[in-house]
């Protein structure tokens, strides 16, 4: 059972249409937030007042509110003003979550669902995306978290939001360590990227080609590279030096990515190795292998 808290945790879910806001609200509802979509911003202060009332059945009240271009009388400048006033209240911990995707990805999602863009009912989807992107810039600039969901599956979005906002967890620095293949593009959400294509490649060993960097025999092969030990020592030392500094400046989430050619051997092994090291140091760590869908 959670201890009673006098703090209201409020997440404002906003961003581009088609970027996953509705899915995010569903995930947060599963994480025990009271989720409300498409709330007129002028009703938000009244809703907060209700939530702040002493309710013995709801320790640690938490709300997730969806606000976007569909909202009646949607005016970004007005939203920013309302949120600024809310942030001044001592008993409210508010975070703005902005969901975004590339224009081509958004267009494809609208085509797949055959929905019209809310700002382009009688015009091409691309017109609505361009108009909305310009309109939302003022809110995006004020956001605490920006999630680019271009490459996210529903599983990925659930994983990321759970790591950020699962209730009752220690809210220290959460770290995501991932692997990827360079030919398929850099991860959009990476804070630190390490190119490990200089290490010997198990792909060219017929006995290892079909395996992954999660298997011990592959790791042993990579570690036999003459430059591995010195490279690993420098990489791990740099990361361990930086983490306390990121935490000190108030950063709550960090993504560290390792890239190689196929995203299957070297990057996977390094991500697993770093993840294990950070867990030993008592950091909250999530490991994700993009090309392995793990």
Residues (pLDDT < 50) of the chain are 1-3, 56
φ, ψ dihedrals at 222, nearest 5°: -65, -40
Per-residue model confidence (pLDDT) at position 56: 46
Domains and CATH numbers, the chain: 8-165 (3.40.50.300), 174-292 (no CATH)
Instruction: Confirm if 247 and 146 have CB atoms less than 8 A apart.
Output: no
Q: How far apart are CA 141 and CA 257, in angstroms?
A: 25
Instruction: Confirm if 192 and 254 have CB atoms less than 8 A apart.
Output: yes
Per-residue model confidence (pLDDT) at position 244: 92
Instruction: Confirm if 31 and 158 have CB atoms less than 8 A apart.
Output: no
Question: pLDDT per residue over 217-259, tens digit each?
Answer: 999 999 999 999 999 999 999 999 999 998 887 777 889 999 9
Q: How far apart are CA 109 and CA 19, in angstroms?
A: 9
pTM of the model: 0.66
Per-residue model confidence (pLDDT) at position 90: 74
Per-residue model confidence (pLDDT) at position 67: 87
């Amino acid at each position: 059972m959670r201890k009673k808290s006098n703090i209201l945790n409020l997440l404002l879910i906003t961003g581009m249409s088609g970027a996953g806001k509705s899915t995010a609200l569903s995930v947060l509802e599963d994480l025990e937030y009271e989720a409300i979509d498409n709330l007129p911003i002028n009703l938000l202060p009244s809703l907060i007042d209700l939530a702040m009332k002493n309710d013995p059945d709801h320790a640690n009240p938490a709300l997730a509110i969806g606000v976007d271009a569909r909202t009646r009388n949607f005016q970004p400048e007005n939203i920013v003003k309302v949120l600024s006033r809310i942030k001044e209240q001592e008993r409210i911990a508010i975070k703005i979550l902005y969901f975004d995707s590339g224009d081509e990805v958004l267009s494809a999602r609208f085509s797949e669902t055959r929905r019209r863009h809310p700002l382009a009912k009688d015009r091409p989807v691309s017109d609505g995306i361009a108009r909305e992107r310009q309109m939302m810039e003022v809110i995006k600039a004020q956001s605490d978290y920006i999630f680019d969901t271009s490459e996210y599956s529903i599983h990925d979005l659930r994983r990321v939001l759970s790591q950020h906002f699962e209730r009752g967890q220690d809210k220290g620095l959460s770290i995501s360590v991932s692997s990827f293949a360079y030919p398929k593009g850099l991860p959009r959400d990476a804070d630190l990227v390490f190119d490990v294509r200089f290490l010997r490649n198990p792909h060219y060993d017929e006995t290892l080609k079909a395996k992954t960097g999660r298997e011990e025999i592959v790791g042993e092969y990579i570690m036999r590279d003459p430059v591995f030990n010195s490279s690993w020592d420098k990489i791990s030392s740099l990361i361990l030096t930086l983490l306390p500094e990121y935490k000190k400046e108030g950063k709550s989430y960090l993504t560290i990515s390792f890239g190689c050619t196929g995203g299957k051997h070297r990057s996977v092994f390094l991500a697993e190795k770093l993840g294990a090291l950070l867990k030993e140091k008592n950091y909250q760590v999530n490991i994700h292998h993009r090309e392995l869908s793990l």
